Amino acid sequence: MYLSMRSVRIHFWLFACLLLLTCFRSAWSHSPYNNGALDPQGGHDDHSDRYGGYHFHEGMLAGQSFLSSELATAAFESALAEAADSDREVPLEDRALSAFFPVGGRGSQVVNDTGYTLSYSEKSEQVEWIIFRVRKEVRVLGRQHKSSAFSANAIVSQSFFLSKLSRHIEGFNVRFGIELENLTRNYARQNKSLIVVAGPIPRTPFSDENALPDTYFKVLLDVREPTVEGLAFVVPSEDPARSVDDYVVPIDYVEQLTGIDFFARLEDHLETQVERHVNYRYWDMAGPPSLVNPAS
């Protein structure tokens, strides 16, 4: 009788453990990054075999697998640190575009293509940011595309980016968007080597995750040394009545609005210099006051 009861208890605990393991694996398999979608590191949890783990598909660790997401994150951060140390020995203008990638935000997928990289949020169905480089030799290719209500998502040519992020209201694209593009091209013609980051600013609170953003940003960083300068624009999606100069703000103001750290891999003193202040004379602008109040 004793052996019989003991056998029952053993089978009961074995059954309970199997049940818990099944539930755990089921819950784990529903991870947002376990269905093929890539997280901001460029990989996802991989449970295609009994060992599980994490696999990188893009970026510096593409093709590598780790036993856990924690180990993968540690390796990713270590690779970033090593790349940052290596970058510091290379002139800013010659560094890879990845050296200027934004950090943070809500994006769940990082997509690399010829000439640009973007971060896309599946949850809000919005492009969070897109980054690309503009030099003096670039030329605009293609034509502006219109629709009756909204423009298409970002359209990129190999030599220049036509900034149509998210689902812009057409009035913004037709006039102010073109005005910003012309300004960017003019800066490039002045021997500036620009890193450009653009994207929407989410509504706060973001009650409707698929709602159209009502404000957009564009960040410019001139990496042509010895002078390195930056500025940003924060503009409403409706057709603004003022000139682009009226929407200039420091880069760190856009960081406050978006939660994105734009140039985290720059040397600390350089990051502080370009993000906290705008050299209006360098950008051929009259200077403040701006319609956007960074103190508000």
Residue 210: predicted pLDDT: 56
Reported as a single tens digit per residue, the pLDDT across 16-52 is 655 555 554 444 444 444 445 778 777 888 766 554 6
Domain match, 133 and 250 both: yes
Both 124 and 229 in one domain: the answer is: yes
Examine the domain organization and report whether 178 and 208 are in the same domain: yes
Does residue 283 fall inside a structural domain? Answer: no
**Residue 157 has what pLDDT?**
39
Q: What percent of the chain has a predicted confidence (pLDDT) above 70? A: 59
Structural domain including 118 reads 92-276
CB atoms within 10 A of CB 9: 10
- Same domain for 105 and 245? yes
The number of distinct structural domains making up the chain is: 2
pLDDT digits (tens, 9 = 90+) for 188-201: 888 778 899 988 88
**pLDDT above 90: residue 63:** no
Domain boundary among 73, 89, 105: 89
Question: Do residues 184 and 210 share a domain?
Answer: yes
**97 vs 204, residue with greater confidence:** 97
How high is the mean pLDDT of the chain?
Answer: 71
CATH for 129: 3.40.570.10
| pLDDT, position 71 | 85
Please check whether residues 57 and 138 belong to one and the same domain. no
Q: What's residue 231's pLDDT?
A: 93
282 versus 238: the higher-pLDDT residue is: 282
Read off the pLDDT of each residue in 158-172 and give the average, rounded to a whole number: 39
Query: What pLDDT score was predicted for residue 79?
Result: 80
pLDDT digits (tens, 9 = 90+) for 245-277: 888 999 999 999 988 999 988 888 889 989 999
